[in-house]
Amino acid sequence: MKTVLVLNGPNLNLLGTREPAVYGSQTLADVEALCAKTCAAHGLQLDFRQSNHEGVLIDAIQEAGRAQAAGTLVGVVLNAGAYTHTSVALHDAIKGAGVSLIELHISNVHAREAFRHHSYISPVAKAVMAGFGVKGYALAIAGLADLA
Ligand code: CA2
């Protein structure tokens, strides 16, 4: 059974505790349960992680690249949080790892502040998902499953 890595960046551990108008009221544990259910429905195994640290996210992407090359991983769903808009290091890591990656945002970043309109992830992502709320995680996993 192949794995999908769902990787969450800074502050996403706070999901469901603040800003419900933007991010909804579901917690990160709820998102993990949704991802687990979606993976099971597609015969995939889930690896679900969150980190507030850029280097930890980079290590996870490098690890995912090795796993995909070994044939054990289908790809990555990445919500890089605010690092989306700042991190050349994440861009380089994704490009270097050669991993199939879906960029995900809970909110429609293009309908928000101008500083959220630019992404360092989009040019190295296979697809971009934004604005579907946390349901976007399930849609992104279904998209990756199609590649499996
Ligand atoms: O819409 C998304 O998923 C974002 O990636 C979320 C990031 C934001 O910086 C991006 O521009 C768009 C923020 C994640 C922080 O989430 C919080 C949730 C609840 C309370 C505080 C922060």
Q: What is the DSSP letter of 131?
A: S
- Residue with CA nearest ligand 1 atom 13: 81
Confidence category of residue 147, pLDDT binned at 50, 70, 90:
confident
pLDDT tens, position by position, 46-69? 999 999 999 999 999 999 999 999
Prediction pTM value: 0.97
What is the phi-psi region of residue 77: left when phi exceeds 0, alpha when psi lies from -120 to 50, beta otherwise?
beta
83 is catalytic: no
Find how far residue 16's CA is from the centre of its chain.
17
Which is the closest atom of ligand 1 to the Cα of 18? 20
Q: What's the gap in Å between 74 CA and the centre of ligand 1?
A: 25
Query: 83, 91, 105, 120: which one is catalytic?
Result: 105
State yes or no: is 118 an active-site residue.
Answer: no
- Yes or no: say if 28 and 49 are a contact pair by the CB < 8 Å rule: no
C-alpha 63/C-alpha 16 separation (Å) is 29
Distance 24 CA to ligand 1 centre (A): 11
Nearest to 53 by CA among 85, 107, 12: 12
